[in-house]
Structure 1
Amino acid sequence: MEGVAFSLRMLYEALKDNNVKIKEIRAGGGGTKSPIWMEIFASTLGLPIKVSNLEEPALVGSALLGYYAMGRYKTLIEATREMVKIENTYVPSKKNRVSRKEISIF
């Protein structure tokens, strides 16, 4: 579980190094049913992890893009607000947070 979280952390750090601002992570799928895994992700990334109520988030994402392309929604943000509801939010634990300095691979 931690290995997967740190793999995602490497991607996150690469985005930060390229001035991409990320405020939160949205997660979906089977792994989101594990609260401990979502807590590990939040603490490893230092970002909130928002879990939707969707069983098939990839399919809804495709539908969302289709509705936007057809003009049903003016923006992707509007479409997301209408079609995706957040079921749970996991916040980083300060106690379990790992700084960039503590990780030798960065």
Structure 2
Amino acid sequence: MGSRRKARECALQMLFAADIGGAARPDDLVRVYWEELGEPELDEGAREFATRLVTGALAHLAALDDRIRSRAEHWRISRMAVVDRNILRMAVYEFLHEPTPRTVAINEALEI
């Protein structure tokens, strides 16, 4: 498994924790994750990528949810499974704000 894929999985774990735990500060969530739970073998570039996905998705949460809501026919964000909701948030953030090719962002979201 590539380091970017592993970074996305780490980012998903952090977004999941923020969603169910209501983390007050994304920086604290990220710091605790990397200190206590994170993948020690993950290289610095992958850690930075995961951190950008988390802090970016949380910073743009309302806008991301609006985009998802506008395309999710007959589904409320709150009714989506927590994992699914956060995969969508992460993918939409990456699609809009990272230089990742769109096809890669979509494929990675589907694979996770």
Considering fraction of residues, name the structure with more helix.
2
Quickly name the TM-score band, shorter chain normalised.
0.3 to 0.5
State the TM-score, normalizing by the size of structure 1.
Answer: 0.33
Pick the structure with greater CA Rg. 1
Considering fraction of residues, name the structure with more strand.
1
State the TM-score, normalizing by the size of structure 2.
Answer: 0.32
